[in-house]
Each structure stands twice: as structure tokens, then as C-alpha cells.
Amino acid sequence: MYIKLTKMTDEEIVRQVQKGDKEIYARLVKRYQDKLIRYATYLVGDYHLASDVVQETFIKAYVNLNGFNVKKKFSSWIYRIAHNEAMNVLKKDKKVFPIDEQVEIESGVNLEEELIKKELKTQTQSCLQQMPVIYREPLSLYFLEDKTYEEISDILRIPTGTVGTRINRAKVMMKKICQK
Amino acid sequence: MSKINSEIEDKVMTRIKTEEVTMKPRWYFVVGSVFMLLGLVSLTVGSIFLSNLTLFLLKQHGPMGQWRLETLLDSFSWWIPALAILGMTIGIMMLRQYDFSYRKNLTLVVLGFLASIIISALLIDHFGLNNLWSQLGPMKKFYQQLENKNTTPGRMQNGSGRFRNRP
């Protein structure tokens, strides 16, 4: 059963949940919580706030699951909900959030490599946080979440051309910010 | 981090299992989509009709109407173009809800929507459907009311060059 579950695509799991198997939704939560917390942290700048965003994201996704078209990508859909939730939080509290140091890196090969990674990641986050959110988002989705232009377009609901433009501008901005 | 993650999973699954949160039924989304489509179609048709009615009323003032701007401003039924603009604005807002609006260039989608309304209104006017509707069918009374409001003795009718009351 476990093997079968791990092989199931997101969309297949959604179909099962839509049919009434609530328990299997936990599988989707497991698959996406780390990624979504990381993404939300880039956006709101606070790990605990990001985990609230993610919790609300999963609840909203469940409530609206029957509205999801299984022919489309579930990952883009759930990232879109997380984006909306994070934007609501940012609108509510417009202050600039401090960069949270608690974001851990998954256990890697060795300690030295892990430290370098951690340093790079902290530095990247620090630079990212100084950027306007419209550039921060596509950049983090493209480089840190490995999303394609099409997926980013679906998540942010902007044309793929605009995604490219924003990523290019964000790269220039990032270079300037990080070199300061 | 993993502790928080398992907390998220536990909280989410507890709320689901205890039915504190439930899935909206499929029909809710189907009805929503149908209403959205019907709303968009109605708004488009309504905007076409109102834009065309605006043209019809403007033409009622006949040639050289621009020289009688004051009279035109006094008697013109402003609610018609106002409603047409409102319809177009809401239509654009509804269009933005559809996936194609961000996959394509939104400015082009909006311009296309507005152009299709204006062109349709011009075509209806060009083919004289207004004159037909003002004389026959269920819209006759409505057109007559508007004509009465917008015409004064001696003013030309329907831009056709015919005078209603020749002195």
C-alpha cells in the first residue's frame, strides 16, 4: 500500500480524496509542506508565520479540492493558494519581516558542505528579502523551487514573457544587492 | 522544523477528520462556472446593446449635432453609456478570472474585448437593426420612450434625415 501511495501522482491522490478517501490527503500534505514552508518563508520572511500560511493553504486546498481540475498540475495550484495566503499576510502586516534563521537545511553529505550551503542560503535569503515581492517571487520559484516559466506563470497568473522579464530584472537586482 | 511540519500535518488532518472543514461539493463549482459564463455573456450582450443604443441616440440629434452640444447634453440619457461602461468594466474583471487572461497578454485581451463590443455595436447600427427594433418587437416601447425623451420638435429622427414635426 505504501509503495503504491508513493508511486501515485498528486493528481491521482486528489482524485482519490475527491472520491471520499480523506486519509490519503495526508500524503499530499507530507509531499508539499517542506516546499511550501520554504516558499512562504521567502515571501513573508518569518518561519512561524510561514507555517501558519502553509497550514491555511492546506485547509483551503482541501475545502476547494472539488474545484481543482485533475488535468492540470496540482503543484502549481497549491503554490498559487500559498501565494494568495502569503499575499494576504503581507497586506495585513506591511512591516518588513526579519529574516528567520531557523530555516534548516536538510541533512546533507558532510558538515563542511552543509555549512557552506547554509551560509549561501542565508545570504541568498538576506538578499531576497531586500527585493520587492514581485521580483522575489519568480526568482525564488525559478532558482530555489526549480519551477519552469510555465509553472511560475500558472502560480503567479502572469504571462510567461513577464515571468522572464521579472527573473532577468531580479537577477540584476540580486547582483547589486548581494555585492553591496 | 520537522516538529513544526508534523504539527501542520496533525492540525490539518484533525480538522479534516473531525469534519471541522469539509470539501465544497462539485456542483458548487459547476454552478459557479455556469453563472460566471452567463454573467460574462450577459454583460457582453448588454454592453453591446447599450453602446449601440448610445450610437442610436447620438444619431437622433442628426447631422451638425455637435453644434448643438448643449441641447444634446441636456436631453441625453447618460445612464445608457454609463451602464455600458460599467458593464465593460465588470466584464473585464470577470475575464481576468479565466486562465487565458494571464497566459495571453492581458492588455490585448482587454482591448480585444472592448473592440469586439464597439465593433458589434457599430455593425448593429450599420445594418439598421436599431430602426427595426424601434418599430417592431418587444423593444419597441423602450425605444419609443427613449426617442420621446431625446427628441424635441423639429429635431431629426434616427439620423435618417426625416423630420418628425416640420414647422
pLDDT bracket for residue A56 (50, 70, 90): very high
* Interface-testing mutation among B3, B6, B10, B16, with chain A (most A C-beta atoms within 10 A): B16
Closest CA to B7 of A73, A122, A33, A12: A33
Closest CA to A154 of A86, A81, A91: A81
Closest CA to A58 of A34, A92, A33, A41: A33
Q: Could you tell me where in chain A the CATH 1.10.10.10 domains are found?
A: 109-180
**What are B4-28's pLDDT values in tens digits?**
667 889 999 999 999 899 999 999 9
Please judge whether A55 and B105 are an interchain contact, meaning their C-beta atoms are less than 8 angstroms apart. no
Q: Is the pLDDT of residue A170 over 60?
A: yes
Task: Return the amino acid letter for B118.
Answer: I
Side-chain half-sphere CA neighbours of A18 within 13 A: 17
Q: Which residues of B touch A159 (CB under 8 A)?
A: 102-106
Look at B5 and A65; give whichever has higher pLDDT.
A65
Are residues A137 and A83 in contact, defined by beta-carbon separation less than 8 angstroms? yes
State whether residue B108 sits within 8 Å of chain A by CB. no
Q: Could you tell me where in chain A the CATH 1.10.1740.10 domains are found?
A: 1-100
Q: What is the DSSP string of A55-77?
A: HHHHHHHHHTGGGS-TTS-HHHH
Q: What residues of chain B score a pLDDT lower than 50?
A: 153-167
Q: What percent of chain A has pLDDT over 90?
A: 47
Residues A151 and B113: their CA atoms lie apart, in Å, by: 26
Q: Which residues of B touch A47 (CB under 8 A)?
A: 4
Q: Is the pLDDT of residue A111 over 80?
A: no
Q: Is the dihedral of CA B65, B70, B71, B74 positive or negative?
A: positive
Are residues B52 and B124 in contact, defined by beta-carbon separation less than 8 angstroms? yes
Q: What is the mean pLDDT of chain A?
A: 83
Please judge whether A33 and B9 are an interchain contact, meaning their C-beta atoms are less than 8 angstroms apart. yes
Residues B53 and B81: their CA atoms lie apart, in Å, by: 8
Residues A173 and A52: their CA atoms lie apart, in Å, by: 29
- Return the pLDDT at A55: 95
Question: From 3.40.605.10, 1.10.10.10, 1.20.1050.10, 3.40.50.720, which CATH number describes the A109-180 domain?
Answer: 1.10.10.10
* In the block, residue with C-alpha cell 500559498: A82
The CATH number of A1-100 is 1.10.1740.10
Are residues A143 and A152 in contact, defined by beta-carbon separation less than 8 angstroms? no
B110 to A101, B41, B53: CA distances (angstroms): 44, 15, 22
Q: Is the pLDDT of residue A3 over 70?
A: no
Angle at A134 between CA A132 and CA A136, to 5 degrees: 65
Identify which of A33, A48, A103 has the shortest CB distance to residue B5. A33
Residues A43 and A54: their CA atoms lie apart, in Å, by: 12
Residues A82 and A65: their CA atoms lie apart, in Å, by: 14
pLDDT bracket for residue A32 (50, 70, 90): very high
Please judge whether A22 and B9 are an interchain contact, meaning their C-beta atoms are less than 8 angstroms apart. no
- CB-based contacts of A64-68 (< 8 A; 24+ apart in sequence): A64/B23, A64/B24, A64/B29, A65/A14, A65/A17, A65/A18, A65/B23, A66/A18, A66/B23, A66/B24, A66/B25, A66/B26, A66/B28, A66/B29, A67/B24, A67/B28, A67/B29, A67/B32, A68/A14
Angle at B95 between CA B93 and CA B97, to 5 degrees: 80
Identify which of B1, B12, B32 has the shortest CB distance to residue A58. B12
Look at B6 and A33; give whichever has higher pLDDT.
A33
Burial class (CB in 10 A: 0-12, 13-18, 19+), B153: exposed
Q: Chain A: nearest CA to B113, how far in angstroms?
A: 18
pLDDT bracket for residue A46 (50, 70, 90): confident
Q: Is the pLDDT of residue A161 over 80?
A: yes
State whether residue B21 sits within 8 Å of chain A by CB. yes
Closest CA to A76 of A129, A146, A132: A146
Which pTM does this prediction carry? 0.71
What residues of A are in the B interface, CB distance below 8 Å? 17-18, 22-23, 25-26, 29-30, 33-34, 37, 47-48, 51, 54-55, 58-59, 62-67, 102-104, 153, 157-161
Contacts of B8 (CB under 8 A, 6+ apart): A29, A33, A37, A51, A54, A55, A58
* In the block, residue with C-alpha cell 499530499: A28
Task: Please give the ipTM for the structure prediction.
Answer: 0.74
